[in-house]
Structure formats: C-alpha cells, structure tokens
Amino acid sequence: MAPLHAIFRPLSEHGRAETRNRGRGFKLLPRLCRRLRSHLLQEMKRWESGEGVRFLQRVGLREGMTVVDFGARVGHYALPAARAVGRDGRVYAVDKDAEALRHLTRKARRSGLPNIVCMHTSGDTRLDLDAGSVDAVLCYDVLHILPEPDRARLYAEIVRLLKTNGCFSVYPKHLEGDSPANHFRDLTPNALLAEIEAAGLRFLGTTCGRLSHDKSLTRGCVLNFKTDSRIDTGKTQG
Ligand SMILES: C[S@@+](CC[C@H](N)C(=O)[O-])C[C@H]1O[C@@H](n2cnc3c(N)ncnc32)[C@H](O)[C@@H]1O
C-alpha cells in the first residue's frame, strides 16, 4: 500500500493549483465586469444618438412634434426622441424619480439637447399640460408599475393630452410570459390591448426591432395606438 503522504500529495497539489486559478479568476472578474460595463455604455450611447432615433422615427416621431415620455427615467427614450423631433420640437420627460431626472438633465446638456423639459411629479398621472397639445406619448416599460385604477387614469390623461390622430406608444414589458412583474403578473398581452382600447385609443400595429430595456438593448415590439376619432373628446384637430 502506498504511504499516506504519497496518496495525499497529489490532492494537496491539486488544491494549491485550484487556489492559484481562483486567485487569477478573482483578478479577471473585475476586468471582465469593467469591459462589459464599458461595452454596454457604448452600445447605449449609440442607441441614444442614432439607432434609437431611427426606431422612434419608425414609431412616427417627426420634426417639430411635442412628445411626452411618461416614466422617462435617465432618458434612454427621451434623448433619441429629442433628436427625432429636432430643435423645433419638444420632449417632456416625466418621472417621479428626481435623481433619475437630474441624471437625464446632465445627459441632455452634454448632448446639446435643449428641447428636453424634465417634469418631476409626485406620481400623479395628471400632467400640467394643455389638452390637445401633444403629438405622441411614449410609455415604455412603465405600465406594469401602475395598479389598474392608476393605468385607467393615465389613459384618460393621455386621451386628454393627445391631438386628434395623436400617437400613444407602449412598450409592454413584464406581462404574462415575459418575466411577469408587479401589476402585470396575471395580465395577458390581449387583456392589456383591450384595456387601452376601452379607454378610447385604437390599436394601429406594432413597431419591432432592437430596442432599449433597462441598461442594454434587446429585441422587442412596441404597441402603437391613436386617439379614436369615433370617441368625442371635445377636441378639434390640432
Ligand atoms: C423601468 S423604468 C423605464 C424607464 C424608461 N421608460 C425606459 O424604458 O428606459 C420605469 C420608470 O417609470 C417611473 N414611474 C413609475 N411610476 C410613475 C408615475 N406614476 N409617474 C411618473 N413616473 C413613474 C419610474 O420612476 C421609473 O423611472
């Protein structure tokens, strides 16, 4: 029988090698994280300055339009929207998170986009804007955070704000089958579509492609609606 030290030597050597590798792994990990972070930051910069602009143009944003980005956070959509509507247009970036809006303000200044107006709210869905004064409302990755009565109030506010034939565009994240979360846990895409149409917004179709979610790009579709002219909102053509 082999002496005990001969049996245990390979094991302890193996252990030392593993510790050495683990040490290297610990050094590599922060470097990999830094690289990934810088890659994602570059990707988001490209999105905000080009790819996102083209995506929002496909949704229908045009030069000179007035747009509300409801739940804008740090501006992954407000910034490209501001480029799409140009210096004669305006983007109201609405959020209840003051810190996120400060971040967005700094980014807008650095990007030379004076046509973004940040609107900090208490979370109330009523906005201090005139009826029939808005061409498009973006509501991207936000609706799941609102309980059903708040969503109903938000749809009513959007109908009030939009011009006739104005566009309401929704990125419906976290519905049933798509990492369900918050108030969308048991809601199907069809049920969401029905609740928006019941509020007087007619479904037009989808715009699909690579788009921003959280801090990176992913594939997905937004749902586009327009104010339903069959429903009398007491507005004239804007
Ligand atoms: C998941 S983030 C989406 C941000 C952005 N739309 C995007 O897609 O990159 C949701 C944002 O909605 C905001 N939000 C949630 N409920 C809100 C409310 N009632 N009024 C204003 N902002 C709200 C949050 O503060 C947060 O910044």
Bridge partners (DSSP) listed for residue 224: 169, 205
pTM of the model: 0.86
| Separation of alpha carbons 125 and 145, rounded Å | 13
Query: Token pair for residue 22?
Result: 């683990």
Per-residue pLDDT of the chain (238 residues; tens, 9 = 90+): 444 344 334 434 444 555 555 666 667 888 888 888 888 899 999 999 999 999 999 999 999 999 999 999 999 999 999 999 999 999 999 999 999 999 999 999 999 999 999 999 999 999 999 999 999 999 999 999 999 999 999 999 999 999 999 999 999 999 888 888 888 988 999 999 999 999 999 999 999 999 999 989 999 999 999 997 655 444 443 3
* Ligand 1 atom having least distance to the Cα of 100: 27
What CATH topology corresponds to 33-227?
Rossmann fold (3.40.50)
What is the CA(176)–ligand 1 centre distance, in A? Answer: 20
What is the CA(202)–ligand 1 centre distance, in A? Answer: 23
Mutate to test the pocket of ligand 1, among 48, 96, 140, 216 (most ligand atoms within 8 A of CB): 96
- Which of these, 203, 201, 115, lies nearest to 162 by C-alpha position? 201
* Ligand 1 atom having least distance to the Cα of 124: 19
Mutate to test the pocket of ligand 1, among 55, 74, 79, 145 (most ligand atoms within 8 A of CB): 145
Protein residue closest via CA to atom 10 of ligand 1 = 142
Protein residue closest via CA to atom 20 of ligand 1 = 123
Question: In which order are the strands placed within the sheet that holds 90-95?
Answer: 116-120, 90-95, 66-70, 134-140, 162-171, 216-227, 201-213
- Residues contacting ligand 1 via CB (< 6 Å): 71-73, 76-77, 94-97, 100, 121, 123, 140-142, 145-146, 212
Query: Token pair for residue 190?
Result: 């069809």
Sequence ranges of the domains in the chain: 33-227
